[in-house]
Amino acid sequence: MRSEAAPQPGGLERFASAGKGRGLRARRRYAVGELLFSCPAYTAVLTVTERGSHCDGCFARKEGLSKCGRCKQAFYCNVECQKEDWPMHKLECSAMCAFGQNWSPSETVRLTARILAKQKTHPERTQSEKLLAVKEFESHLDKLDNEKRELIQNDIAALHHFYSKHLEYPDNAALVVLFAQVNCNGFTIEDEELSHLGSAIFPDVALMNHSCCPNVIVTYKGTLAEVRAVKEIEPGEEVFTSYIDLLYPTEDRNDRLRDSYFFNCDCRECTTKEKDKEKLEIRKLNDPPSAETVRDMIKYARNVIEEFRRAKHYKYILCLNLDSTGLVELLEICELSLDKMGAVFEESNVYMLHMMYQAMGVCLYVQDWEGALRYGQKIIRPYSKHYPSYSLNVASMWLKLGRLYMALENRPAGVKALKR
């Protein structure tokens, strides 16, 4: 799966980063585009919505995958992939058979079950833990509020409910710590269009601290994470990645960082807030909206984004046989919010872009290629302005547009977009 020889993290070192705890630092110079290191997943789980189209073992997309003979719900490239995944899949195989359609642990629960099994079968340090061991993960246990603690207890209950035959459980306190560690250090694996493929643990990658001005990005080849420079990195310089989507303004980014990772970012981007005005662009009207109107619309936008996220979760994920009514409701949320926000915001405003992106996703889901293309055409230019030049989000949008043009038999536009 590796396109080039994977360097070991010998040109890197773990160190104490001032005000940030542990961190990763360069010992030599890295050029833009250079691969710093790659890290195989300590363990990973394929999301249930991709079963049948991707291998449960290596995450490769392939036609004609072979089913597990027992549960008939896991799929593999070949016998080798199936054998390699069996120590993990056996945690779920018999439970899938026993629970049938009622087998529904979350990805976090599934990932945690695999960590417990891996720690039992491989107590020694793995190839994924050259710089940081899973047991060293930060849990931020002292910062968890009652709501987060309750969610962890729900996950622990699900773990006991769905997994019993092949797992030995530590006590409740140790499980609370482990779930908190997974919540802070887990990774989402995405494909080339940034669609969700699954969740994984990459210990050495988790050593990197966050910046909204990162000097590396993390990409995935199956269950292998690759860390690549997007800026020149000099010896002695700390290696930073971004934990979050960089599209949004400073306040939104730090809200997300505080909620998920329990810190505020003090990078140059967050200190200067120099891009916030463009990201929150207001319509140029003869009678400009008041500051209060703008504040109210920003509050509305944040609320509707959260409303859509919840609606999408329950309609898209929990109801995999989503009917046309549910899809129409999701699209209506997008269109109504765009109409309302459009009275104050320019189309290049990031909240407008967010809802356009969601609407595009619904159109793609129902194979409305023309509708998806209309939204994508509105998105791509502002994306190119708001995101850094190396952004995977921009590249992914050009890829989507190229495929849509090709599907609609506009080959010249398709080729141009794919080249971009």
Q: pLDDT tens digit string along 150-202? A: 999 999 999 999 997 778 899 999 999 999 999 999 999 999 889 999 999 99
d(CA 148, CA 130): 31
The continuous run of DSSP H or E covering 7 comes out as none
Contact by Cβ (8 Å): 82, 245? no
pLDDT (tens digit per residue) in 343-399: 999 999 999 999 999 999 999 988 999 999 999 999 999 999 999 988 999 999 999
* Amino acid residing at 177: V
d(CA 177, CA 170): 11
Fold (CATH) for 273-419: 1.25.40
Specify the pLDDT at position 321: 46
Specify the pLDDT at position 318: 40
- pLDDT score of 323 more than 60: no
Q: What is the mean pLDDT of the chain?
A: 92
CATH topology match: 16-39+202-261 vs 42-188: no
Second-level CATH architecture of 16-39+202-261:
Beta Complex (2.170)
Specify the pLDDT at position 309: 80
- pLDDT score of 322 more than 70: no
- pLDDT score of 316 more than 70: no
Specify the pLDDT at position 310: 78
* Mean predicted confidence (pLDDT) in 29-57: 96
Model pTM score: 0.90
Sheet architecture: strand order including 216-221: 35-40, 224-229, 216-221
* Amino acid residing at 21: G
Angle at 254 between CA 358 and CA 149, to 5 degrees: 90
d(CA 98, CA 101): 9
Specify the pLDDT at position 357: 95
Specify the pLDDT at position 182: 98
1.10.220.160, 3.30.930.10, 1.10.3720.10, 2.60.40.10: CATH of 42-188: 1.10.220.160
Q: Which stretch of 212-221, 309-318, 339-348 has the lowest confidence by average pLDDT? A: 309-318
Sign of CA dihedral 231, 235, 236, 241: positive
- pLDDT score of 317 more than 60: no
Contact by Cβ (8 Å): 187, 225? yes
Q: Residue ranges of the domains in the chain? A: 16-39+202-261, 42-188, 273-419
